[in-house]
Chain A
């Protein structure tokens, strides 16, 4: 028996699209199969499976295939049509100048994937591969990022593994800061708002099927939810006074702002007041200056620092 002809799935999808576009009336699955049955095989189940796969693939590409449930003679049957309102709405809102600006942005910023550049091309822009004297590299290649973004934008519940624990969260926002991506979310098990570092999410994330599954707090801003100063992360605003050598004084004063400088010595050293609530972050900040910085007060923090140093010095 001759082997049935194998149809190229690409041709089948384009034919399906042409069929839906050429018919003014929505088409039921039976009507589609009447015309394209040979391409979809002989068994009813196989046809439906292939049709559903093609429909899903086309929708994923952005083809606005909509469906309605018919009335009258065909009552209860689902029919499919191309919803012309679903085409290129963002593209139609942007002016030529705005697209040019996005083009320039795509030439100057590297994000490790083609996602953004592809979007600019799709909007009608042209990517100039010539990079000028200024550029920015923003590591954004994780496949988890667009998934989290979609979940955030569509208010879908996210399940993920983080710090060896399974978490279910309501994602509120994504922020890139200091070379890392962060997800701000409401953690359903902890019952509080939490910030997660995206590169520490283990494995894939599972995005809930339901859109608008929760309401994001209207005034939520991730940048506000996440203190810029990691030393503040643990909440209580405990502070330490630290003496900084002249050689680092300008850098530290710039980092903390002039209000953080409480005394400038004649030799150029400065004393600064700095948050130390998060000891891990405080220690990383303090020891980055090695012996160019010394905790002066409060006594308990100074003793802690001496204790840490003794531990390391003795090789514990």
Chain B
């Protein structure tokens, strides 16, 4: 789950916080508490994604502030009681919600625009109306989020919602095969421009991830199973669990898209904008396809069994062109 707390874990333990951050927090917390007629340190921490210690520090800073000569009624009326309850008395300077910063407005626009593409939200009138107001406030369409229009996205989404089994015909380009199978979609997620479902797969008896635009045909079975309380997560693509081969390659600048598109490791950028990378190989077919698309700009240096995979793949494709009398050696 990529929630607020997990995000904090990802950025690591916080160090000392700047004066600006503490002031900003105080300015966000005080009108919120005033509007509610009081709150608790715990509630505030939960609402603003802070630790209780941070809330106490920020409110303590505010409590000693006010206007000269800084005594009695000159102070900002914030009180934290021993039981953790917090009171904030109305104040002309601190009872108003600050306007969002441009960074926050950008983030909000992206969230709203992206959410409007989700099957569960795209007909949500509340969201549409919020987006309309946001656009009006911003003065036009300056941010647009487009997502893939996968033909069967709505059907898969609905199946995940209901726990319905689907019969599908699924294409696996990395293995160059198409299979018929019955799946029970559990979660649906969008990532890197594509939609996927994590589903119970009757063919393998495992939970598998399917790219929805590779579903070639689908049939709702009407069979409904128990819905599992699943949380959609974006997986770590190309899991490097040691079972898949890894190749080392030199990527010329013209094929920089390889580095941008696929999860590479041990990436070394050279002065001529080329890269030396390691990449986990999903299948030999996948690697051959990648090498062919990149042409001579993707040169595998090890292991030896993959060094000539681009040549071998090109020779395979050349065989299709019947007027080619002689293939290159």
A contacts, CB < 8 Å to B: 8-11, 13-15, 17-22, 35-36, 57-58, 60-64, 82, 84, 86-91, 93-95, 97-102, 104-106, 108-111, 113-124, 126-127, 129-140, 145-146, 149-150, 152-153, 164, 173-180, 199, 221-223, 247-248, 250-251, 254, 283-284, 287-292, 294, 302, 305-306, 308-316
With beta carbons under 8 angstroms apart, the residue of B99, B126, B151, B178 that contacts A64 is B99
Cβ-defined contact, A308 with B145, below 8 A:
no
| Candidate in B62, B92, B143, B316 with the most chain A CB atoms within 10 angstroms | B143
Cβ-defined contact, A134 with B98, below 8 A:
no
With beta carbons under 8 angstroms apart, the residue of B70, B126, B144 that contacts A176 is B144
Cβ-defined contact, A137 with B190, below 8 A:
yes
Closest Cβ–Cβ distance, residue B9 to chain A (whole Å): 12
Closest Cβ–Cβ distance, residue A273 to chain B (whole Å): 19
Closest Cβ–Cβ distance, residue B246 to chain A (whole Å): 22
- Pick the 7 closest A-B CB pairs, nearest first: A115-B107, A21-B93, A116-B107, A129-B3, A105-B115, A179-B193, A178-B193
Given A104-B115, A122-B104: A294 touches B320 (CB 8 Å cut-off): yes
The interface size bin for chain B is 35 or more
Q: Note all chain B residues with C-beta closer than 8 A to A247.
A: 171, 176, 178
Closest to B36 in A: A124
Q: Note all chain B residues with C-beta closer than 8 A to A180.
A: 193
Check B32 for interface membership: any CB of A closer than 8 A.
Answer: yes
Given A93-B133, A105-B112, A146-B103: A134 touches B118 (CB 8 Å cut-off): yes
Closest Cβ–Cβ distance, residue A110 to chain B (whole Å): 5
Which residues of B (101-121) have their CB < 8 Å from a CB of A? 101-112, 114-121
Check B129 for interface membership: any CB of A closer than 8 A.
Answer: yes
Cβ-defined contact, B107 with A118, below 8 A:
yes
Cβ-defined contact, B104 with A131, below 8 A:
no
With beta carbons under 8 angstroms apart, the residue of A89, A118, A199, A313 that contacts B260 is A199
Which residues of B (268-303) have their CB < 8 Å from a CB of A? 273, 285, 288-289, 291-293, 295-296
Q: Note all chain A residues with C-beta closer than 8 A to B76.
A: 14, 18
Check B19 for interface membership: any CB of A closer than 8 A.
Answer: yes
Known A17-B93, A87-B98, A109-B110; further 16 A-B contacts with Cβ < 8 A: A10-B19, A11-B61, A13-B19, A57-B19, A90-B100, A91-B100, A104-B121, A129-B3, A133-B161, A134-B119, A134-B160, A139-B192, A152-B142, A173-B142, A174-B143, A223-B146
Task: Classify the secondary structure of A's interface with B.
Answer: helix
Cβ-defined contact, B111 with A105, below 8 A:
yes
Cβ-defined contact, A102 with B127, below 8 A:
yes
Q: Note all chain B residues with C-beta closer than 8 A to A11.
A: 61, 64-65
Which residues of B (1-53) have their CB < 8 Å from a CB of A? 1-5, 7, 19-20, 22-24, 26-28, 32, 35, 47-49
Cβ-defined contact, A146 with B102, below 8 A:
yes
Closest Cβ–Cβ distance, residue B115 to chain A (whole Å): 3
Q: Note all chain A residues with C-beta closer than 8 A to B233.
A: 131, 135
Cβ-defined contact, A90 with B134, below 8 A:
yes
Closest to A38 in B: B68
CA distance in complex: A310, B204 (Å): 40
